Every structure is written in C-alpha cells, then in structure tokens.
Amino acid sequence: MITLSFVSKALTVSNETSPTTPDTVKIGAYVMNIYDINFRDKEYSIKFWVWMKYKNPEIDFLNTIEIPGSKDVQKPDVMSYKDSASGEIWTLIKLNCKMSQCWNVSDYPFDTQNLQLRIENNKFDTRYLVFIADTTHGESFDPLFNVDGWQVRKFNTHLSAHKYNTNFGDVSLAPLKNSIYATFNLEFELARNASGLFMKLFVGMYIAFLISCVSFLVHADHVEPRFALPVGGLFASVGNKYIIDSILPETNEFTLVDSLHTTTFIAIFFTIAISSISLILYGQDDLKRSNNFDKWGGISIFTTYVVINIILITKAMY
C-alpha cells in the first residue's frame, strides 16, 4: 500500500549526510497461505512472516515496513529482540496483506498467474539501507501451503532495488529527481487446476450447441422447431457468456472465453442459415437435395466446431 508514509522518507533523510557504507539488513520470509483470490476485484490475500536483523535502532522496521501495491496491511503479531552481546536487533512480524493484482485471463480457465510481493523500508533509501537475503534458516513456505484450485509451480525470493521517479522533496538528493529503495521480493507462479472448472463453465454452452444441431434431425416442413431449437441454443450461449464474464475482470484482450463463445455463436448462425436454405429447397419440391443439404451441412458444422474447439483449448493449455 503506497501511503503518505513516503513523505517520511524525505523528511527523515533530508538533513542527514549520506553514510560511507549503508546499514545492512538481513531479511527473510516464511509464507503461510494465499487465499481469497478474487478476479473480479483484482485482488488476493496473503499471510506470511517476515524477519529482519540489523544493528541500527533508527531503522525500526516495526513502523517503517512498506508493502507497495497492497490495499490493506495488518500486523496481528510483532516481536522485537535485541541481542545484548552482539547488539543485533531481531524483528519478526506476521503480516496479513490484501494485494492488488492485474490478472492475466487470456487463457482462462487454463491460466497461469505470476504474483509478486515487494517489501521495502519507507524511511531509508539505498544510501542508508541495503538488504541481504537471510536464507539459512530453513524453507520459505509452509509444507502444508496449498492454494485451493491452484498448483504452486514456483516460489522464490530475491533482492532488487526499486527506483521511484521522484525524490519525494528530499533536497539532499538534488539535482536528482529520483530515489532508490532496497526491495525484498516474493514471487509465485500459480497454475490453475482447470479440468473440472472448464466443464462447469462451458457445459451449458456445449449443450446449447448440441440442441441447435438437433434441428438437422427435424423434417424440413416442421418450420417452428427447425428454427426454435437453434435460436434457443443461441440465447442459452449468450446467457452462459454473461455468467462467466461476471466473475472475470474487464479486459481488452480477446480471451479463450470470448473465442469459444464466438465460435458457438457463429456455428449456431450457420445452423439457422442451413435450415433456411433447406426449407427453400423443400419448398421447391426438391426433397432429396433438402435432406442431403441438412445431412452434410450438419456434419460440416459439427466437425468444424469440434476441430476449432480442440485447437483453441489445446493452444490455451500449452
């Protein structure tokens, strides 16, 4: 959460002289859980522990820890201890964060999401503070760590420096118009377990298409069912798309969901078109041509529809 705490960066360091060597902070994290993944509101929640070891008491991570990109940060548990022998301060904080996230839904529901969480100190820039990863105390995530409906493919931590294109009014940085802060990053790659979800989402659309195909089995002189079936299937497909769109964020991309539904709409349109031509042939007393047109038209539409679906789904999966 980028807050007015950034103002403290400028106010704190503006009258200080940059040290020859910045303070070194050992930092590590232990992830407990990722939950409440919400595509519509573009957010997710994460619970984890983070610890820091340092000697300068002015760093005070209890009050200066910053999680850029967060909507809400809670600290239900905090501990701080100073080793009298070494003078090292050990600070341990449990964080519950609600994070803002731009989701990639182009291949939904076969999507893979990359999450990144950054930890910074909002008081000192890299002139005064740098991080060193503390990775010598075990794993970085709970062995029972499980994200419902997802597979955690990758998880890693790494250090970086984040550049802000402002000096936050810090005159000691002039004439520079930027500032750089040490960053500790948590990165996750989540792949959705999509097989069951795909059928739940699209079974209505596929049944609607099959219902429209049944019209080819109805004799051409039965005009009402010949057109009622595909029109009903079309409305059912449109309704199915609205339901799926209601759980996804708005996007300008043409997604897999859009591609599958558009293919269904076009297939149903051709079903209606073939029924119309077949009816014209029947009206001309050309029953044989009418029946053949129904037969090969239905086979062509069904085969093409299945092939296009296989291609689109396979492309999204791999």
SS3 category, 285:
coil
Question: Looking at this protein, which amino acid is placed at residue 146?
Answer: N
Low-confidence stretches of the chain (pLDDT < 50) are 1-16
Cβ neighbours for 155, distance < 8 A, ≥ 6 positions apart:
31, 140, 141, 186, 187, 188, 189
Query: Which is it for the CA torsion 137, 138, 139, 145, positive or negative?
Result: negative
Is residue 25 classed exposed, middle or buried when 0-12, 13-18 and 19+ CB atoms within 10 A define those classes?
buried
What is the reported pLDDT for 19?
58
Look at domain 195-317 and name its CATH class: mainly alpha
Q: Which residues pair with 119 in a beta bridge?
A: 184
Nearest to 272 by CA among 212, 220, 224, 217: 212
| Residue ranges covered by each domain of the chain | 6-192, 195-317
pLDDT at 61: 87
Sign of the dihedral defined by the CA atoms of residues 83, 84, 87, 93, in that order: positive
Cα–Cα dist 304/129, whole Å: 62
- Which pLDDT score, from 0 to 100, does residue 172 have? 79
Nearest by Cα to 136 from 230, 250, 21, 51 = 51
Q: Which residue has the tokens 């990863």?
A: 133
How many angstroms separate the CA atoms of 75 and 239, rounded?
A: 43
Q: Name the CATH architecture for the domain at 6-192.
A: Distorted Sandwich (2.70)
- The reported pLDDT for the residue numbered 148 is 87
Contact 115, 187 (CB under 8 A): yes
For residue 191, give the amino acid letter.
Answer: A
Of 183, 35, 184, 44, the C-alpha closest to 102 is 44
Contact between 105 and 253 under an 8 Å Cβ cutoff? The reply is yes
Other CB atoms within a 10 A radius of the CB of residue 7 amount to 12
The C-alpha atoms of residue 234 and residue 240 are separated, in whole angstroms, by 10
Going by C-beta distance under 8 Å and a sequence separation of 6 or more, which residues neighbour residue 81?
89, 90
What per-residue confidence (pLDDT) applies to 18?
Answer: 56
Looking at residue 3, its pLDDT comes to: 44
